[in-house]
Structure 1
């Protein structure tokens, strides 16, 4: 991710960003081309406008090839200058910059162009379905990468309207980001989400843009940048208000923002966001796309339970989480990721209560699920659980559970 990626994801033009920071637009251009960098006195303002800490801004200004790699399930050596993902993203940015010229070249008939865009939409929808059903999420990666390459080829050749291809890219780069996120490759995930936000904004697809911002916030949450996540989600809620009022986008943004507020210990703000999320029940018809937007309110019981756990309201949390397991058992189609999160939360409640039986029951089931599905997300959640297990001393069963969790990323 670059300064330009982050700027576009937050909806700033170069002019507006320069105005917010207090510099000339040409200065911003030099920063984004890498020919100069913000001076130390300017950096606090730049970081604030980009909703980043100074440390994160410094990392952003560091050449990509020297950034540390993320590790985890199904991780690989990405992010280098020859990385295929990075090359695809760079090529798309270049093509998007000249898409107005490309779209004006009469290389094919309009009907064929529209058919090309439809083909991408259909394939993207199919890939989201495959991703949701796949036990090993990383197995979907080669097909998604191939589809991204085909999208770049179509944009270069003018085989579909540039705006339609930007929408397809906003969709597909979010899926690419999901795959990277599930493999603990946060840098790749953030870069894909930022590019998805830029493409969606370019096409005026507000719900798609808001969803890309929501997914960006998930990266911040995973890296404990809770204040930054809350601010990004606030921006997502504002963008979503300009979108389709029949979709659940703004309610999803509120649900995720509730998590950020819970981590910040802000009970009132968390409750307000959860109440807003639950208004999804007032919507009628198809409230999600089944792809880049899957929030329909069906998991609000587990969401509220998780928020109560973060706020240390253990009785309320346990009731909500057990209800979530009953309402959506795995056999009925609940995702591995969702069920794993509920199991880990129930184990965490046992740890806070010093109840080893509850920890073992739910913790071991979560380990089995993580191993079966290959989910990096569930493995990460289990790793956070280990911090709660130190108070059990030399309990052999707890030690065995910790060892099982350790093998997930060995």
Structure 2
């Protein structure tokens, strides 16, 4: 059910007219109609009063509005806007980033108090649901509008914290959601915005003294350099993340995920021994018991180890070891994006062996997924395959595959 329809139903259940809401909030009746029609959302300063009128908490109102945003037509969603609209959207997003950075730098006692406490559990629940949806959806870009709408809500709440405890929890919630926003932009290959998101996630997590969350924000930030094959930049950030993880919860898998990403960094630098040691450290996750991750900013449970080993060995040129690990990974219940990564690595192995059949078997479904989902991560894997195709372009089908990747890359740059 769309959030706008929920606002309509809630108002009707309370016996209020659109004019009643408009008069109380000092807006036009047509403005209330646009909220209920899902065409736009109430300004942040109006939301506390609107929540009181509807006799719900601000977090419940935020959940309604977030669902409304996610059901907007494509033409109204800022994530799909183009040209001048995209420039305005980016400027607005950077404004939110700047405001959030300033609020995170303020101590809690310098902030205004609220008369009524916000239901922080509601915001936490929405964050969790957004991560779940992100994990399950193949077209990650469709999540952008609803996540960034919720970021605006949390940023506004940061300026109204009742005191140190509530402020600290809001910082943790903001750090959580900034990581999700970064993941969405990373998937779209918008690495600059993703880096901004991860930097703010780290700052918010620091303010919350949430060491595991802070370590994960740094790890995600470092992963941008890993993807761009700038391993020298990734290494010190991962070292810092490892240090933070040691100060975190020893029952969580944070330190083992950091080790897995460090292994990729060492592989990229051609350091087999260091890569193997990092992979062995990452195996320590298998000795943990209980809930070792939260399904949101931390999702590492050891199920990715075969993929990690395969990727590292492929990078190091140990093709037999890589193929064995990646074939094992395919036997697991992988998400579409993870499966695409494994298939891309197997296609690279086929290309390095000059085996066109192996390339085509593994790369064709990846290309189809990239076309369907518009995932920048999947497209990036295909671009990584292209240099290995060059010696095989005399093969007609390989040439067609290469042309398909060119078309995909060209269309993504024009979006």
Is the counterpart of residue 304 in structure 1 residue 312 in structure 2? no
CA–CA distance in structure 2, aligned partners of residues 74 and 306 of structure 1: 32
Residue 223 of structure 1 deviates from its aligned partner by 2.0
Match of 1:260 in 2: 265
Is the counterpart of residue 247 in structure 1 residue 252 in structure 2? yes
Contact kept in structure 2, 1:75 and 1:183, CA below 8 Å = no
- Aligned residue pairs, count: 328
CA–CA distance in structure 2, aligned partners of residues 207 and 75 of structure 1: 35
Match of 2:50 in 1: none
- Structure 1 gaps of 5+ residues are 1-72, 329-333
Which of 230, 234, 240 lines up with 1:225 in the alignment? Answer: 230
- 249-258 vs 227-236, which moves further: 227-236
Contact kept in structure 1, 2:138 and 2:337, CA below 8 Å = no
Residue 74 of structure 1 deviates from its aligned partner by 6.9
Match of 1:211 in 2: 216
Match of 1:383 in 2: 383
CA–CA distance in structure 1, aligned partners of residues 407 and 307 of structure 2: 27
Is the counterpart of residue 97 in structure 1 residue 102 in structure 2? no
CA–CA distance in structure 2, aligned partners of residues 176 and 239 of structure 1: 22
CA–CA distance in structure 2, aligned partners of residues 396 and 97 of structure 1: 58
What does residue range 86-165 of structure 1 map to in structure 2 within 5 Å? Answer: 86-103=94-111, 105-109=112-116, 112-113=117-118, 116-158=119-161, 161-165=166-170
Distance 1:314 1:191, change over 3 A: same
What does residue range 331-342 of structure 1 map to in structure 2 within 5 Å? Answer: 334-342=334-342
1:248-280 per-residue CA deviation (whole Å, 9 max, x = no partner) reads 000000000100000000011100100000110
CA–CA distance in structure 2, aligned partners of residues 228 and 213 of structure 1: 12
Contact kept in structure 1, 2:108 and 2:161, CA below 8 Å = no
Name which structure has the greater RCO, CA cutoff 8 Å, separation 6+: 1
Match of 2:177 in 1: 172
SS in 2 for 1:276: helix
Alpha-carbon RMSD across the aligned residues, in angstroms, is 1.9
- 79-88 vs 142-151, which moves further: 79-88
- 254-263 vs 157-166, which moves further: 157-166
Residue 302 of structure 1 deviates from its aligned partner by 1.2
SS in 2 for 1:301: helix
What does residue range 258-407 of structure 1 map to in structure 2 within 5 Å? Answer: 258-328=263-333, 334-407=334-407
Contact kept in structure 1, 2:264 and 2:275, CA below 8 Å = yes
Q: Answer with 1 or 2: which has the greater Rg.
A: 2
SS in 2 for 1:388: helix
SS in 1 for 2:248: coil
CA–CA distance in structure 2, aligned partners of residues 82 and 249 of structure 1: 32
CA–CA distance in structure 2, aligned partners of residues 396 and 282 of structure 1: 49
Is the counterpart of residue 183 in structure 1 residue 188 in structure 2? yes
Residue 76 of structure 1 deviates from its aligned partner by 6.0
Contact kept in structure 1, 2:113 and 2:160, CA below 8 Å = no
- Structure 2 gaps of 5+ residues are 1-78
Residue 102 of structure 1 deviates from its aligned partner by 4.7
SS in 1 for 2:295: coil
Contact kept in structure 2, 1:79 and 1:86, CA below 8 Å = no
Contact kept in structure 1, 2:113 and 2:162, CA below 8 Å = no
Residue 327 of structure 1 deviates from its aligned partner by 2.2
Contact kept in structure 2, 1:301 and 1:320, CA below 8 Å = yes
Q: Could you tell me the TM-score, scaled by structure 1's length?
A: 0.77
CA–CA distance in structure 1, aligned partners of residues 398 and 310 of structure 2: 24
Contact kept in structure 2, 1:210 and 1:237, CA below 8 Å = yes
1:329-362 per-residue CA deviation (whole Å, 9 max, x = no partner) reads xxxxx22221111000000000000100000110
Q: Could you tell me the TM-score, scaled by structure 2's length?
A: 0.76
SS in 2 for 1:295: coil
